[in-house]
Each structure stands twice: as C-alpha cells, then as structure tokens.
Structure 1
Amino acid sequence: MSSASTLTLSGWRWRQYGKANEDWHQCAHDKPTTEIFTDLIDAKIIPDPFIDENERHVQWVGEADWEYACDFQYEPDSGHSRQDLVFAGLDTVATVLLNEEKEILNSTNMFHRHRVDVTGKLRHGLNTLRIVFKSALHYGRELERKHGSYRAFSGENSRAHVRKAQYHYGWDWGPLLMTCGPCGDIKLESYSSTLIDVFADARVSDDLSSASLNVRFEATLDQDVTTKVTVTAPDGNVFNTNAALSLAAKESRGSVSLEIHEPQLWYPVGHGPQVFYLVDVAIMNRDQIPLHHVKKLVGMRRLRLVQQPLKGESGTSFFFEVNNKPVYVSGSNWIPGHSFLTAMTAKDYALAVDRCVKANQNMLRIWGGGIYEHDALYEECDRRGVLVWQDFAFACAQYPCYPEFVATVKREAVDQVKRLRQYCSIVLYAGNNEDYQIAEMLNLTWDREDHSGDWTDTNFPARTLYETHLPVVVAEYAPAVPYHPSSPWGGDGTTDRTVGDIHQWNVWHGSQEKYQLWDKLVGRFVSEFGMLGFPAAKSIRRYVTDPAQRYPQSRVLDLHNKADGAERRLALYVLGNIRVNSLDLDSWIYATQLIQGECLSFAVRSCRRQWKGPGQEYCGGQLIWQINDCWPVSSWAIIDFYGDKKMAYFMTMRDSAPLALGISRSTPELKKLKSPPPQILAPPHDLAPKTYVCDIWAMNGTLQDTQAQIEIRLYDISTGDLREENSMGIQSLFSNRTTELMEDLSVDDQTAVQAIMRDAHDGHVIARASDWPQPLKYVSLCDAPDVTVSVLDDKLEIRSNVPVKGLVISVVPDDRDVEFEDNAVDVFPNDVYTIVARGLKKDDQVEVRYYGSEF
C-alpha cells in the first residue's frame, strides 16, 4: 500500500483549432499553466498587444478557436485503486479529451473546479490530454440569441451570459483581449484513499478566552481508515484529538472538534501579530500506514461587520471589528494584475501586497469584474495582515437568471468559497460590483419592499442570485464571514451616504464636483473613489515606441486611456486647478499626477477624520480605486503597470499612516454645508472678498493613546516669510480615532499652512501635513526659489527657502534600481525633509521637479 501521488501536467503545445494541417507549436516555457496570447507572443505570431496600437491588430485571436495538448507518463501502482484528473480552472469554453477518443469533460465556466475520475482510462506509459477552447465571444453571442440581450456597461452585452473574467471584454482601464487556455493547474492524482477538501473552522468566543476548532473534511475512500488531526500552535504547543476518528470505506465526510483555551489570535496589520495554527489532517489504513495528509495554516480571529446606530447622526455605521477591536480601513481596490493571468507569479503577488502594506494600507477589495484571485495573493494577505473584501465575479451589468445560468453560478460560488474559506484575511463577501447601480440607471424593477426572494420574472432577475442563492452558499461554507448583497449597497438606494457602503464618483464621474469638496462627500464606508493620472514617463517610453507619438493627445496614448471622456475630464480638473504653461508630455504627466494626488489625499483625510471613536464611527474606511493596472495605461491606478509609483501613492501613504495630521481649508459659509452646494450658473468672477478658515486634526490609528507635540506654521508662499507660529504644546491623541486640534484658523489666499507632529519625548518628527490656497493656479509663487537637494548614500535631504508644492525626486538616468520610501512632498523653510532612498549613491544624479518649476 502506498500513499497518494500527484503529477502536475506541463509541457503544453498549441495550435489554432479547425485549420487543416496546422502544425503544433511547443510552448516556450514549461510552466503548468498557459494561455493563447502569451504563447502567440512567444512564437512571434502576433506583436505584443500592450505595445503601441497592437491591441487593434490582435482582435482576431478572440474570434478564433484554439486547442492545447500535453503528454504525461502514467505507471500503474497496485496500491492505487483510483486516478483523478483535477482541474483548477479552464478559460473558458473547453472540451477535454483523454487519449483522443475519450471526451472526459465539458466546461463553460472559468471559475469552476473539476475532479474527473479517469480510473481505467489511462494507458500504461504515455498519455495525451487535449483541450479544445471555443471562442467565448461566439459562445456568448449564441447564448444571447437564445436567452435575450442583457445590458452590460464596458464590453459587449453578450458578456453577461458568459462566466469568464469580465474585464477580458475590455473596461474603462483595460484592453479587449479575449484570451483562453489552461489557466489553472491540472493534476493527475493517483491514490487508494484521499482527502478531497479540508476546512478548519475556527470560532473565537466573544471574550476571546477560548476557541473551538471544527475540522471538517471530505474524502474518497476505498477502505476503512482512521483519521488523525494534529494542531500545532504558533508557540509550538501541540494539540491532538482525544481519539482517532474511524471512517468506513465509501464514507465521504468526517469532522473533529477541539477546544483551545487562551488562543493566540491573528490580527490585521498594525493591530497585532499575524500568527497561525498548523492543522495537519492524516488518514491511515488499518496498519497505520499513511495514505494521505493535508496541512492548513489557520489564523484565528473574531470578526464582525458592525452596522449599528450612531451618536447624533442618522443611519448606521459600517466598519469591521477584529478580535473586539474596531479597525479603520484604509486600502485600495485590486483589479487583476495582468490581462494575461498566467503571466503573474507568486513573487508578483508578494510584491503587490508589500506595496500595499508600505502604503499604510490594510485592505484590498478584490473587484467583481476580475477573478477569484490566485491563492498566492490570499496567502500573502494572510501573512502580512491585509484584510480582503471579496466580490463575487459580477460587475456593471444586468445579468440573467435562467435555470442553466443559476446552476453554473451556484456551483461556481461553492467551488470558490470552499477554496477561499480558509483564508482568515477575507472579512467580507459581496454579491457583485455596481449591479444595483445599473438597475437604477436602467430603471429596472427593484422593489425594496419585496422580500419574496425570487425575482426571476422581473427585468432585474439577478437580484435572485445576489439576495437568495449567494448568501446561502456563504452561510453554508463560510458561516463566520459576513455577506453583503452588492457594492455599493445599503439604505435608500446605492447613493445613500448614511447606510452601508458607497462608490463616491461624483468627483470625476457623476456631477464632477470639485475635489476640494470631498469632505462633503464622505459616506459610512467609501469602497470606491478615484482620480485619473498618467503613468511615469519611463513607463510610457516602454509602450510607446515611436517618439513622435509621445505627446499627451497622441493616437497611441489615447488608445492606452480607456476612460470615457478622459480628455475632457482631465482638462476639467487640471486646467481648473493648476497652471499648465506647457502641454509637453513630462509637464502633462506631472500635472495629472499632482491633481490625482491632491484629490485622493484630501479624500483619505476627509474619510479618516470621521472616525471619531465609539459610537461615532461616521466613516469606517475608504478604498482607493485603484492600486494597480492590468496593462500599460493612463488610469486611476496609483501604481502603474510597470510598478512605478505615482505621486498619489506617496501622498495617500502619508495620510494613511498610523499617526497622521489633516488640514482642510474652507470659507465659513461652505464649512457649514453637509453636501456640495448646488451647481448653478453664476457670474464668472465673484467680486466679494472671501475669508478662509482652516481646521486641523490628528489621526491616531494605533491602539495606544499617544502624547505628541503639535506645531502650526503659516508662511507667505511667494516670499517664504513666517507669518505666524503656534506651538500647541503636548496634545493627547486618543487611540483608534481622530482628535480635533484646531478649528477656524484664519488664513488668506497667499498663505500656506504647515502642521508638524513631534514625539513628545525626543522631539523627532512623526508626521507632517500642509494646506495651500485653492485653486493653486491663482497662487503667487516665488520667482526664484532656493531649493537644494543633498544626495547621500541611501537618502536625500531637501531644503527650501519658500514653501514648495509637490516636489518629486527621480534618479537620472531613470533605469537605476532605487527604492524611494517617500516622494511627492511639500517642503517648507526651516524644515529639512529627509527621504530614505535605498540603493541611492552620493554621486548619483537626481532630477527635481515641483509645482512651478516647469513654468
């Protein structure tokens, strides 16, 4: 008797299906997963779709059918009575044949996982697996003809019928590249008895003093077995079940429970350690010979989504509580990291989560138009303490709900929730992205008083998925994780700022409010908001190969900007706020990145300000749209496709820090308003003199009360003269909330305000914040500022004789591997700004750019 064995298939070859005498092409790599676009690029049959206008020239790929094949060896083992082929994912319309004559699987859902019994179907020695992938475009159009058209925003309407990553159809930040292929691992498992699925369900008591660990598993058995569960605590203590569990042949389920006193708990980053219990489940035959075992890392935490009344305001809170501690969320939305998912590596996912943590972010929302992400991403989020908001894979469409569609979606949900439920970082499942907003836009039937649970006969049939089928799956397979029917969702429609979450797009989309009004747009939880910015110049040089096309309005750069109306909206926000004396590419990149950073940083500060302590959690968090790109593009991302951090990355990083300062400037009249004033026709110039006031607050996201010195300085922007200095002395900053420091500080339209937080004991700078008159285009700048940058090993020191806005440092040439820990800073007189820059050498050349330096 031998233990189970696993072979991961690789060595794929491919060709276009249905072409007479088409030769097979061997993949240029030996990876277990692959897809047609990367293989066509490697074979030099198509140009790289990410470069220049090549996206236009490769659309035929998605209209064609393709096939893949690989060979593998199988030698029978007398101790193995069964063989299964296990498929982690097939993209998307796939027919699988074993040794040509045996059709063993048909799949039309990219998110399904398959286990196919091939016992008795394998040859001794060489076997061949062949997979035919039909065009998902053609398949979706056939379904559309059969079941009717359902409206989709972004991509063609037929996508609503196809269970494939929806962003493959094109989005307002992504290309139309309909790829296909064996995108998930395919394994041959040979065994006599095996564990199919193991779930260690940890429930922590209300007072955190104990935890129950219920280990449930599914198995395929051809003999009587005993099961042993061993749990090793983070400190090395070992827990064993009192007695081995016996299972008879053909039994398929079992469970074992343990009680753990004083459990060691897993916390989000910044709130405590990320520790794990190792759960080892083994099955043995009657002679105690191991047949199979599965190991799981389990983080134990008590989780709640808190929606309760608030002091002094209508509606309810929306925040996460982990281990009885409220957690303010400052994070981002995550789209797939590449248009071709098999190009991503575990290292790429680890780097992405590392950048998230270094940006002082503690949550990623896995957006519903992408995929249920690779295990490597969730593993890294578990390890680093980054919370995960997981959407189901629906986005921006009126989805159908006919019986075949319901069946495939229910299976998809079960497959994916069972896969993901072990990750302690997942704290919410949401039914979809913006589909209720689509219902509002299309005036679909959405009777909030109708709680029948079946709306399949309405023109909003997918409501039955979101409010009936999906919550049932989550309740059964991941009962400790809250379910939210949609994002956004709550209250009186999707724009209700007092209940649930909102997507706040009235800056950029919608009413296109001034970003200086962001403090009037805050909701209980803002799960999307953004501002578009161009990528770095060195990134643009990588995907725009013709220097003649490297100007902001070029045909190539417009192709690599999918946002509807982007040219007009960028002009609205850039030209309405800052001086632009040149439209050369470098100046436009800087201008759009500065506006993006100014907008997002004020939004983050405005949201964090509303985290005011118990009963006053008026905003529970904000998630920037978005942290990453799937191809080289001008988008809302704060890190471009090639990994270059935009100014907004650093600006929001500082505003999301555990200890941070916030400043807002307003007129007394505007400050009183709870919402943006109506946009009405008005004279082009308001001649009445204005007075301005600033509020200043401190944000303490730590779990300890802190003593800090606070200094406030007011400077004349054009001369650098210090107009006023206010040392507030030692201030008590209470833990896990915002503390208001100063209200109605009077300023004029030529004064910049700097606030500094210092350690109460040794005086070192903990945080800085600044505020400038708005719009910046009216501000009188110094004609010849004295800005100096001292380049040292692994750091820079920056000094200025006048206030300087948005100073960006880059190394020349820009191919040097230097990691800036900060950038895009405001520098003030009498304050040396030090930036750590790992890899920098004191003889390196740097380029300095700041607002006004390009005039």
Structure 2
Amino acid sequence: MSLNNVVTLKGWSWRKADDGEWTRCAHDKPTTEIFTDLLDAKKIPHPFLDRNERVVQWVGLEDWEYSTEFEYKSQQGNSTQDLVFEGLDTIATVYLNDQEILYSDNMFHIHRINVNGKLKEGRNSLRIVFKSAFKHGKALEEKYGEMNAFNGDHSRVYVRKAQYHYGWDWGPVLMTCGPYKEVRLESYAKAISDVFVDPVLNDDLSKATVNVNVTALGEAAGGVIDVTLESPSGKKYAGSCSFEDGKAQIEVDSPELWNVRGHGAQNRYNVSVQLKDKSGSVLDQWKQLVGIRKVELVQEKLQDSEGTSFYFRVNNIPVYSAGSDWIPAHNFLTALTKEDYLKWIQLAVDSNQVMIRVWGGGIYEPDLFYEACDEYGIMIWQDFMFGCGQYPYYKEFKESVIREAEDQVRRLRNFCCMTVYAGNNEDYQVAEQSGLEWNPSDTNGDYTNTNFPARTAYETDLPAAVEKLSPQVPYHPGSPWGGKDTTDPTVGDIHQWNVWHGSQEKYQFWSWLGGRFISEFGMLACPSRKTVEQFVTDPIQRYPQSRVMESHCKADGFERRLALYVMENITVRSMNLDDWIYATQLIQSECIAYAYRCWRREWRGDGKRYIGGALVWQINDCYPVSSWAIVDFYGREKLAYYALKRESAPLGLGIYRCDVEKKGQPLEGAQPGPPHDLRDKKYVFDVWGVNSSLKDVEGTLEVRLFDVETGKLIQELDRKSVTLEANKTTEYLEDLAVDENTCIQARVFDSNNNLLARASDFPQPLKHSLFLNRKVKAVANTDSIEITTNGPVKGVVISLDNEDIKLSDNGVDVFPGDPYIIQAKGITQSDKISIRYYEQDAA
C-alpha cells in the first residue's frame, strides 16, 4: 500500500505491427495478450476447440503492437516519475511519446524506468512492440547453434519466455505475447521499493529475531523507518531504523508460528513499515502478512539402507510431503482470475496435499497464488524456469538469468510457503541422455566452456541469488538431482517415469520403483464426458480415436501406452467414449493409489524416513486435453484426484499383497511371461497404519476377506487393538496367507466404534477376477449419498446432473456391511444420481 501517486495503465489497443489500424481491447483490464484480444475481436477461432490450434499458428509468427494513453499531472513534492513494468511477454521494445525507453527480452524481468523529462503534462502515449519470440529464438539458434530439448521447438531454450508456450506433451503450441502483467506510473519524492522480512528462529523455536530490511527510493535526510509487527493474538512489537540504514531488528518471544497444514495453525504477523520524514509525517507505507517459520531440507544417513534421506522439516517437525506438480493453469495467463487460483488451491487442500511443486517450464506464479498457499499451509517447491533443455549460458544470457532470479526471489521471499528452490526441471536428465559433459564430481562451478554451460546457473549463480536474497530457504540444483545419476533412488529426488514412459513397468511394482523423494510420476487419463463435449463441438468426433480427440492428447505414443495399461489390467467389454473414459480414469486412479500407498509406508520415523514425499504429475491442465492431470482444465476431478485424497488422509491404512516367491518384485532377466509362468503361486498380505498428525491415535483393527467372484465373506480376522503412531507408519500384520481370488478390506475404529480409516485390496490384475451378480445402490440423503452393495465392488462412480453439488469422494471400493457415505452438500432426495462401477455389466 503506497501513499505516493500511482497510476495503473489500462485501456489497451492492439494491432499487427505497422498495420495502421488499431483495435481497442474489448475489456478495460490492466493486463492483456494477443490471443485473448484476437478472440474478443472474433479474428480467430478458439484454439482450445476442435483442431483449431493448427489454424492459429500464424499468430506466433507475427509482430504485434500494444498502445495506451494516460494522464500525467505534475505534483509538488513528487520529484521522481518511474514507469514500472511487472512483466512483458516477451521480446518487447517500449516507446513513451515515441521515444524508446526500454528493450526487454525476458518475460520474468521486472523493470523500473525513470521517465523524468520524458513525460508531458496531460496526455501521454505508451506503445510496446512485441517481436515474434519464435523468430527471435530461431535467429539466436542460427547464431549459436541448435541445442537439445525434450519438448517444443529446440530454439525455445534461447528465449526467456514461458517454455510451455512452445508446446509440451500435455499442451498446445500457442505463442502469445503482450503486457501480461501490470504497467504502472509511480510519482514520488521518497518511496519504499522493497521490504524483506527475514525471521530467524533459535533452535528450540522459543525466540525469533525478525530482521526487516527496507529499500527506499529518493532522499530523506533525517528520515526514519518505523516497523510494527502484530501477532495473530494481538501482541504488538516495534522497531525502527534510519532511512540511510534501512535495517530494523525486532525480538519476538514465544513466536506464533506458521505451520504446514495438519501440524498447527497458519499464523501470520501483520507487518507494517512506515517511511517518515524528520517531522514524523508519513511519506510512504507497506503492509503484508508474514509468517514466522523454520524450514530445512534434511539429507542424512539412514538406518539399514544406503544413501541419504530427502525430506523437509518445518519448525523442527519432519513433514511427509504428499502433493502434486503444478503447471500454468491456462495457456493465456491473463484469462486467469483470483477466483480461479483460489479454486485450484482449495482443490489441493481438500485432497490432503501439503506441497505443490511449481514446475520449471511455466512461470513464477502471481502473488495471489503464494498468498493462498500461505493462508492454507501449503509448502511450495519452486523451480527456476528451465525445463527439459540444454540451455545456453553466454554472457548476455547469463546476465539475464541472474537478474531474473534476483527479481523473482526478491518478489517471493516474504511468502512463508516457500520451502525450496530448485535450479531446473530435468535438465540434468537431458545432459545424461544427450551425452553432455556432466561429471557430478566436478565442483569447479564454472561450466560455461562445456556443452552443458547452464550447469553454471544451477550450481553457482542461482544458489548465490537464493543465498543472497532468501537465505532461510534451501536450494536444490535441479529436479531430479542427487549429485549422482538422476535415476539413483538412494539420494536426492527422482522423476519415476518407468511407469508410462521408460521401461513401462506394471504399476503394481511401485513399491520397488521409489526413491528418497519422488517429485514426478503419473498416469494419463481422459477428462470427463462433459469436458469432452465442451472442446469437441461435432458429436460425430466424440469417440476415443477421432482426429479431434487425438489432437487433444499431446503425449507421444499415448494410444499404445494407454492400451497397454488398460488391456494389462482391466476387462474391456466395449470401446465407446463413456467406457473408455471410465477405463482410463480407473487405471489412473489405481496407479496413483498404489504409488501413494506404497511410498507413504516408507515414512517410518527417526533414521528410517526412506521416502520423504511424493508429488503426482500433475494436478492441473493448461487447456482441455487428455493428460496426466488429476483435475481437468475445467476443474472437473478425475477419479485419481479422489485416490490421492484417500491415500493422503491424516489417518489411513495400507494393504499390500504379493507373490510369496517374488515378494512383488518385477521379474529379472529372461523369465517366462504370464502365459508360461506355471508356478503354483502363493500370496501373502501386509497391513499397516499411517498417521500424519502429531498425536498417537488408538483404535481397533478389523480385517475381512471376501471371495471376489461370489462376493461372500470368507473370513473375519480377530479384531486387534492398534496404535496409529504419530507422524509415521506402524506395521500391524505381515505375511498373512491369502487366496489368489480373495479381496481384502481393513478398517480401524475408535473407542466409540467410529470409523477412522479403511483400505481395500483386490487381486491383480483385475481383469482375471469375475464380479458376478453385483447389486449396488446409491441413495441421496440430506447433504450426503449412501452407497451399499451385496458384494465387493471396485471403482464406484457417482455422477450428478447438478455440477454445483461437490462430492467429497468418488471412484470408491464398497464392501457388504459397510455403507460408504459420500458428502454432497446441497443434494436432496429428488436429485438424480447416476452410478457405474467396474464390471457393472458382468453376468
């Protein structure tokens, strides 16, 4: 909040460069971009629909101009005028009253340009010429040589633009441009330009030293800076410093800490900074909510296992990081609203996520994204914006990157959700797969003369920026990275893509495919029928293999891979659109559930935190598409979303079944395939409990065994008193024999017989089991739906005509004698419920 004169520019007009005729934007927003403006003017078909992406490619090859006018009136005392550009996408030359004032070639730079003497009293004009970023990158590629990259045109690595605009294996090629962030005119004599609130906690968290560093503009001889902190409980603290010093320090006893959700309150202090002249008059002020917390990345030796741990400790509490990877939520960033961001963060909160990784091929998200994560207690893993590429690092590029890092870390450093910065996404993997000069033991720090020059950024310049500007937040050179081969599961984080990509392992092998921290893994699935109907406008094209459906799946080889996992695991009785959507979403749900369940089990307490977290690729989409997202572009949850929610609940149970001989391991060497594997197999299962809360929970464990085919109860094990130990896994049953055709349900109840958690396990693959004569009912009650069955059923899906009614769960397994209650606020007995489940049409 500034007391100085600030004018936010808006009222933009646009045109093709040097085309003569300007078109006024259909809106009056301060931010805009060419694709949305062309759409508003009905100059192009919507690129998200049908196959329209291919007919709008010309847009990214053109140069475009934006212009606006604004009033300026000089005011006594405001001796300085600056134009502030929060972000220009991307190759931009700016003219004020036809005089060039700025050239920018990095959309992540923040510019403050002094325009004293260039402004006119009254009306002023601002014009921005945006050159084609694609052509700009191709020219640099011609000059410096082609580099390697996994997605998009390889020239993208030369352009400091959101890399996903070049197309990815889940997104279209839509090379937009424009003033995508605010442009402001600021007039002042003295002003606050930056405040860094840097709390440092002592070891036992009983005291915090809050360092407040203030950067001010202008001159204020004899001026003073006053700082106040107000705690959530209303306790106030104060400090001050001179204008010239700009550093205040406040001691806080018994600080009220910001905590990760589930581990305490998300307390934040109201911090106010006032810049005063020597008479005490307030010249400028700044306010923000800031949390006090301590965050550590723990990499220490483990008991009974090689390598080191990789987990985060917040306020001295180890945190198992269940969460997801985030890509930009729209190809056209200016189309996103505050409400859109809040809905996405709420989806993460509602599914028991505690970490979101902001992926390195997108953008540094706007402040309101991080504000929401602060509010809800979500940790942020923040990649720097390098993705899947062999980036250059010549002098000008290096200088641009260092400035980018400093601009963005400076902007983000007051958000308490910031948990770790990572240098890049998969650039070390590109180096390995391309045979670049990459020797982990070489710690020289300057690799600019190698064919992996950007390693200098990841290991020298970016960590220096973080250490300089946000020293309390850990830095990690890349994702994945562990200082060894990027696939080494004993150190650092890994991206586990040997399910779907790579060797295309069975997802039932997830327990053997883990690492110390799995920051990417996933399974592709179609979006919902209603979403398909929104982007496929011709009903004739609404079948799984249509041209339009294929154009909205960007994953190379998706047909073969989806068919592999579907045919390998479940019975396919028809291939119409609804059945295919259900099949792919069921497979994705099963795959994600297996992973979260197996990996969370390895959170075993002190010295045995063998896996510190799992982040599914990905939570969201940037346009309507079949992808790895667990929630589609329009915000409709896939079944995997609910699987993540169930497996990441604060209290949970896990079941793992395996072949006694193989113990669930993948076959090694030239072993007989399933048709010739004639062993007399014997199976055993384990049951364990998980508890992410900080208190032990007592309960009673019940385990029931059912015959899959008949649906009849075979055995109920003796009920057993158990403890779900705080913040760890507790093993309950191990190596219990089970028949091949038996499904298992485990439940745990509190002392009042209230259900605390449930889990289920079915024989794998599901396609070999018969589910005969099932009768499933779903009944609407006030604000809930009750599902009952006469035999075990897999993947029960509830659909409602009224999409405003949000379901607390879906795609669930249901057992006899255990009514499954799904919360559905607003539902009444008159609402129509549609239901389907696996093998619904079996004889």
Normalised-by-shorter TM-score class: over 0.9
Pick one of 362, 371, 382 that aligns with 2:374.
382
Q: Is the 8 A contact 2:440 2:483 kept in 1?
A: no
| 1:669-684 matched pairs, under 5 angstroms | 669-671=661-663, 673=665, 677-678=668-669, 680=671, 682=673, 684=675
Partner of 1:776: 766
Structure 1 residues 854, 513: closer, same or farther in 2, change over 3 A? same
* One-letter code aligned to 2:813: D
**Farther off after superposition, 158-167 or 213-222:** 213-222
SS of residue paired to 1:684: helix
Distance apart, 1:296 and its partner CA: 2.2
Pick one of 42, 52, 55 that aligns with 1:54.
52
2:514 matched to 1:514?
Answer: no
**Farther off after superposition, 687-696 or 200-209:** 687-696
Pick one of 171, 184, 187 that aligns with 1:187.
184
Whole-angstrom CA distance in 1 between matches of 2:654 and 2:700: 15
Q: What is the CA RMSD across the aligned residues, in angstroms?
A: 1.2
Q: Is the 8 A contact 1:205 1:302 kept in 2?
A: no
Partner of 2:716: 725
Distance apart, 1:588 and its partner CA: 0.3
Q: Is the 8 A contact 1:210 1:261 kept in 2?
A: yes
Partner of 2:756: 766
Pick one of 798, 810, 829 that aligns with 2:816.
829
Whole-angstrom CA distance in 1 between matches of 2:841 and 2:417: 45
| 1:690-729 matched pairs, under 5 angstroms | 690-729=681-720
Structure 1 residues 676, 91: closer, same or farther in 2, change over 3 A? farther
Structure 1: runs of 5 or more not aligned: none
Structure 1 residues 725, 160: closer, same or farther in 2, change over 3 A? same
| 1:280-429 matched pairs, under 5 angstroms | 280-429=272-421
Whole-angstrom CA distance in 2 between matches of 1:326 and 1:152: 36
Partner of 2:5: 5
Deviations 1:208-235 (A, max 9, x none): 0100111001111233221111111121
Distance apart, 1:854 and its partner CA: 4.6
Whole-angstrom CA distance in 1 between matches of 2:600 and 2:679: 33
Distance apart, 1:491 and its partner CA: 4.4
With normalisation by structure 2, the TM-score equals: 0.98
Distance apart, 1:672 and its partner CA: 7.1
2:515 matched to 1:523?
Answer: yes
Whole-angstrom CA distance in 2 between matches of 1:638 and 1:680: 35
SS of residue paired to 2:130: strand
SS of residue paired to 1:591: helix
* One-letter code aligned to 1:740: E
Partner of 2:41: 43
Distance apart, 1:678 and its partner CA: 4.3
Whole-angstrom CA distance in 1 between matches of 2:540 and 2:813: 34
Whole-angstrom CA distance in 2 between matches of 1:744 and 1:361: 31
Distance apart, 1:185 and its partner CA: 0.8
Deviations 1:280-313 (A, max 9, x none): 1111122221110111211001111110001111
Partner of 2:568: 576
Partner of 1:842: 829
* One-letter code aligned to 1:36: I
Q: Is the 8 A contact 1:520 1:676 kept in 2?
A: no
Distance apart, 1:680 and its partner CA: 4.8
**Farther off after superposition, 576-585 or 445-454:** 445-454
Distance apart, 1:691 and its partner CA: 1.1
Whole-angstrom CA distance in 1 between matches of 2:518 and 2:219: 52
* One-letter code aligned to 2:7: L
Whole-angstrom CA distance in 1 between matches of 2:527 and 2:51: 17
Pick one of 835, 838, 843 that aligns with 1:851.
838
Partner of 1:69: 67
Whole-angstrom CA distance in 1 between matches of 2:459 and 2:841: 54
Distance apart, 1:582 and its partner CA: 0.6
Partner of 2:780: 791
Q: Is the 8 A contact 1:87 1:187 kept in 2?
A: yes
Whole-angstrom CA distance in 2 between matches of 1:676 and 1:180: 51
Deviations 1:648-690 (A, max 9, x none): 11112101000011111110122175x6634756473322221
| 1:114-513 matched pairs, under 5 angstroms | 114-224=111-221, 225-241=223-239, 244-247=240-243, 251=244, 254-513=246-505
Q: Which runs of 4+ in 1 moved over 6 A?
A: none
Deviations 1:86-109 (A, max 9, x none): 111000000111112x11110000
Whole-angstrom CA distance in 1 between matches of 2:763 and 2:674: 21
Pick one of 774, 779, 791 that aligns with 1:802.
791
Distance apart, 1:80 and its partner CA: 0.6
Whole-angstrom CA distance in 2 between matches of 1:748 and 1:845: 39
Q: Is the 8 A contact 2:658 2:664 kept in 1?
A: no
Whole-angstrom CA distance in 1 between matches of 2:95 and 2:169: 38
Whole-angstrom CA distance in 1 between matches of 2:440 and 2:754: 55
Q: Is the 8 A contact 2:525 2:628 kept in 1?
A: yes
SS of residue paired to 1:294: strand
* One-letter code aligned to 2:687: I
Whole-angstrom CA distance in 1 between matches of 2:636 and 2:395: 46
Distance apart, 1:815 and its partner CA: 4.7
Structure 1 residues 463, 516: closer, same or farther in 2, change over 3 A? same
Whole-angstrom CA distance in 2 between matches of 1:198 and 1:555: 53
Whole-angstrom CA distance in 2 between matches of 1:313 and 1:500: 14
Q: Is the 8 A contact 2:774 2:840 kept in 1?
A: no
Whole-angstrom CA distance in 2 between matches of 1:655 and 1:676: 27
Number of residues paired by the alignment? Answer: 840
Q: Is the 8 A contact 2:743 2:760 kept in 1?
A: yes
Partner of 1:15: 15
Q: Is the 8 A contact 2:779 2:785 kept in 1?
A: yes
* One-letter code aligned to 1:796: I
Distance apart, 1:3 and its partner CA: 4.3
